[in-house]
Each structure stands twice: as C-alpha cells, then as structure tokens.
Amino acid sequence: MISEDIWQYQKAPEGWPTAAMATCHYTILMEAGQQAPSSINGVCESVDPDGDASVWLAAIDTSTGMGTGTLTSGTGKYRNTNPKPSFQTTYQIDATHSIYDFKW
C-alpha cells in the first residue's frame, strides 16, 4: 500500500517544522484465515517546507495502532540526527491519506 500523509510534529526537535508531507510504502502481512494484519511495516520519505528530505522506517503495532519510527537518512536539519518518535493516526482521510501525530 502506498499512502500520501500529513505528519504533525508535537514538540519536534529544535528547527524542525510543525508538519510535513510524507509518502509511505507499507507492507501489510496477513496470516491465512485471519481478518487482521499480523505485521505492518513501512518506508517513508518526506520533504519539508524548507526542502530538507528525510527517509524513515516505520513499524506499527497491530494490536494498538501505535507506531514507532526511525530516521535512517536525511539532508539539511535531518542529517546526523537519530530521533525515534512514536506516532498514531489522528484522522483517516481516505484509504490512502491520513494525518498522523508524532511525539518525541
């Protein structure tokens, strides 16, 4: 699944924007005969309003819907940083668009 999302940053690191757009490529695993996913993982890329880019790995806990992110690489303000935020969907716009709140 590919989604185009809005990320809202709560108490983001100094110099970061309060929000950014991201494109995420999710792999959702389903066990045979089950209705709910057993695993949701993603790779997301984002370019913020300043033009700085970042690439993230995401893992979503299927029992709670809470996710954790790891910044793998970035340019500008994202270079050489190691944030590990948690995130949660706050609004599902449609099947491929959501708003997420990130917390540090």
Give the pLDDT confidence of 58-86 residue by residue, as tens digits: 999 999 989 999 999 999 999 999 999 99
Phi, psi of 55 (to 5 degrees): -125, 130
**What is the pLDDT at residue 104?**
87
> What value does the mean pLDDT take over residues 82-103?
94
Sorting pLDDT into bands at 50, 70 and 90, what band is 12?
Answer: confident
Nearest CA to 100 among 62, 60, 47?
A: 60
- Which regions of the chain does DSSP assign to beta strands (E)? 2-10, 19-29, 39-47, 53-60, 67-74, 86-94, 97-103
As given in the structure block, the two tokens for residue 61 are 């806990």
Question: What ranges do the domains of the chain cover?
Answer: 2-103
N residues, the chain: 104
